[in-house]
Structure 1
Amino acid sequence: MATLYDVCKKTGLSSATVSRVINGSSLVKKATRDRVQKAMEELNYRPSHAARMLAGSKTDTIGVVLPAIDNGYYVQVLHGLDHVSTTEKLKLLISFYHSDLDLLDNLGSLCGEGRADAVILMNNSLLPPEKVRELTGDDFPIVLIGQKDETAKAADSILIDNVHGAHCAVAHLLENQPKSLLLITGPEKNFDSEERLLGAQKAIEEAPFDVEVSILHSDFRYEGGRKVFAEYIKEHGTYPDAVFSFNDDMALGVLDVLNGSDRKIPEDIQIIGFDNNLLARCIGLSTISVPMRQIGVEAGLLVAHRIKNKDAKPASITLQTSLIPRKTTRQKIG
């Protein structure tokens, strides 16, 4: 069955423009209206009555679009969002995406069919900001979490200081001069992962000694961390002296592999994660603390402000990260 996104793709128009045509807006040029109607006929697209009624009207709803991943980070961010939405008397409509097509459909539905007054898009590594804007239209309120927008019609964004956090993590591991260091990153083209890699590389370059560095890409999941670490051991026939996992979930996968080995932590191998989630605190995993709940609070406040002030200048907020050394890393010798 055809979707709003299919109409947008066929016409090359944003969901906002297609939505205006569907709802008979007088602001749309006749040529544009004809183009959309022709595409709808060819695709046999039939907008629902509910979508027609919703589009163009205030819903007091914020759409939250996030990856379909079992990760404590998102739970904490959503707690922060829920706190603000309750205070602001706004509802949250949460949708998950597995692929770029899911993401496009979700954005098209929320923005074009009027299901939400604004959207918060979390940790999107599938679509660049300009593609998101093509779909939502320039005027639709959108806040990006974990993605920077430097386009002319920039969206608001909430970021964390990934570079500083990763630099602290690797500098801490290097205090005891390991001979080998493994970096387990998130997905390629993921903004947070790329920034953490920059911070890690900066710390490595500053070290007054040589260290053998290996970089493996994973997916921010427990199973992903477990898989790539097991593959590293199989390929190298040994263990690295230190591991920096770009989030805590993957670090837990590394620890799972080590449970079946004779390696002692942190004497033989040091491990540090990123996020400081609940499990990291429970098991004593050294990590970088991320203000996850505060991310949600700031995103909620920003989107509530944007709904009321659509002409305000784009805002970008960067929250700080900090080192939390625990049982899985050693203190500096001497």
Structure 2
Amino acid sequence: MTVTIYDVAREAGVSMATVSRVVNNNPNVKPQTRKKVYEAIERLGYRPNAVARGLASKKTTTVGVVIPDISNAIFAEVARGIEDIANMYHYNIILCNADKRKEKEIRVVNTLLEKQVDGLLFMGGTVTDEHLQAFSTSNVPIVLCATTDEKGTMPSVDIDHEGAAFDAVQRLLSAGHRRVGMISGTLQDPANGFARYQGYKRALESAGLSLDEQYVRIGNYKYESGMEAAQYFIALPERPTAIFAATDEMAIGAIHAIQDAGLKVPEDISVIGIDNIRMASMVRPQLTTVAQPMYDIGAVSMRLLTKLMKKEPVDQAKVVLPHELIERRSVASI
């Protein structure tokens, strides 16, 4: 039989209102009475009914999080930042994987809203008009996490992706490289793809170099596509002396393809990435990269969402966090 608040009240010899105050951490309960109620709860194995409490308060203290790829270490670090701040403010998290598929992302968003979450964090992925249409039906706050919408109309927390790519390529150019290849993400992705491509292009232009399309390959952010792109570069009659990869995972794939071809990194080809995933310091040579503050992106996103849910003042609804160049051993001067 399910233990109810009535059973706890009868066991403790108090009113149901007193049990409710104890369960909801109301300070207006004598310590001795509070102790009796907690002892009764423990003896009976009572668990408050979150659904019933949500119906009464019209709050579920639950936040939905849409994550594009649960196997990606980057998003795992963002999720950790989200959860730490959620715990601090006594919110529970429902984490949903969307496999980087637009139709599934929109379906998951609608499902979470039907679950009566108090707020929603949409992590990563391209924000299309279809996404914005789904978001517009929500009566709870939504914050974009590690992504933005092109029009900048929604609250968001991210980095300057074009600036991060510019700094990465600038590092190669300052080392004397003039033939710099890029392993890009899909250009339909405004952040990790197109913005980072634009940063690469701008850096070349700032050095008086024109973009050579043979030095650009489109990957899918994964290790294997980094290997394939590097193999293509190595086979060119005039191969690049350096490679900029739009993600660390593709950069590590490029390093291994270069080594498999009997060449050395950075002596023959330098490699630089973006993200600063854990593997960047484990691969040999260790990968020079531009770090995203992934934990901070998650933590700041969740804090922004708590303010919106509680209708607190928000100084800045569009937050751009700083990136940082991490020097390791995969870039050499020529």
In the superposition, the TM-score normalised over structure 2's length comes to 0.75
How far, CA to CA, are the matches of 2:314 and 2:160 in structure 1? 24
Residue 274 of structure 2 corresponds to which residue in structure 1? 274
Counterpart Cα distance in 2 of 1:85 and 1:73: 19
Note closer, same or farther for the CA distance 1:263–1:121 as it changes in structure 2 (3 Å cut): same
Distance 1:55 1:118 in 2: 18
**Partner Cα separation in structure 2 for residue 176 and residue 149 of structure 1:** 35
Is 1:166 aligned to 2:168, yes or no? no
CA contact (8 A) 1:69 1:221 kept: no
- Residue 63 of structure 1, CA deviation: 0.7
What do the CA deviations read for 1:291-312 (whole angstroms, capped 9, x no partner)? 1110011011011111111896
SS of the counterpart of 2:282?
Answer: helix
* Structure-2 separation of matches of 1:134 and 1:55: 30
3-state DSSP of counterpart to 2:275: coil
Aligned residue for 1:285? Answer: 287
> Cα distance, 1:206 vs. partner?
1.2
1:190 corresponds in structure 2 to 189
Name the amino acid aligned to 2:106: L
Q: How far off is 1:170 after superposition?
A: 0.6
Aligned length: 276
Quickly say closer, same or farther: Cα 1:117–1:328, change in 2 above 3 A: same
CA distance in 1, matches of 2:290, 2:314: 33
Task: Give 1:215's aligned amino acid.
Answer: V
The residue aligned with 1:243 is: 243
Amino acid aligned to 2:301: A
CA distance in 2, matches of 1:83, 1:262: 45
Aligned partners of 2:209 and 2:115: how far apart in 1? 58
For residue 95 of structure 1, report the CA deviation from its aligned partner: 0.6
Distance 1:240 1:151 in 2: 36
How much has 1:160 moved relative to structure 2? 0.1
RMSD between aligned alpha carbons? 2.6
Gaps of 5+ in 1: 1-49
Shift in Å, 1:209? 5.4
Take 1:248 and 1:87, find their aligned partners in 2: how far apart are those partners?
A: 31
Q: Which residue of 1 aligns with 2:142?
A: 142
Residue-by-residue CA offset, 1:156-201 (whole Å, 9 max, x unaligned): 1011022222111111111233342211111222122222122211
Distance 1:54 1:222 in 2: 47
Equivalent residues of 1:179, 1:210 under 8 A apart: no
Where does residue 123 of structure 1 map in the other structure?
124
Correspondences of 1:1-334 after superposition (within 5 Å): 57-68=58-69, 70-98=71-99, 99-114=101-116, 116-125=117-126, 127-128=127-128, 130-136=129-135, 137=137, 139-149=139-149, 154-192=153-191, 193-208=193-208, 212=212, 214-234=215-235, 236=236, 239-283=239-283, 284-309=286-311, 315-331=317-333
Deviates more, 1:202-211 or 1:301-310: 202-211
Q: In structure 2, do the counterparts of structure 1 residues 56 and 253 end up closer, same or farther at CA, with 3 Å as the change threshold?
A: farther
Higher Rg of the two aligned structures: 2
Q: What percentage of residue pairs aligned between the two structures are identical?
A: 26
Q: Distance in 2 between matches of 1:328 and 1:271?
A: 6
Report the Cα offset of residue 109 of structure 1: 0.3
Runs of 4+ in 1 over 3 A off after TM superposition: 53-57, 149-152, 208-213, 231-234, 310-314
- Partners in 1 of 2:314 and 2:177 — Cα distance? 50
Unaligned runs of 5+ in 2: 1-50
Look up the SS of the partner of 1:327 in the other structure. Answer: coil
Write the distance in 2 (CA, Å) between the matches of 1:187 and 1:302. 29
Q: Are 1:157 and 1:316, in contact at CA under 8 Å, matched by a contact in 2?
A: yes
TM-score (norm 1): 0.75
Provide, for residues 42-79 of structure 1, a one-character-per-residue CA deviation record: whole Å limited to 9, x for no partner: xxxxxxxx8xx979942111111011253211111111
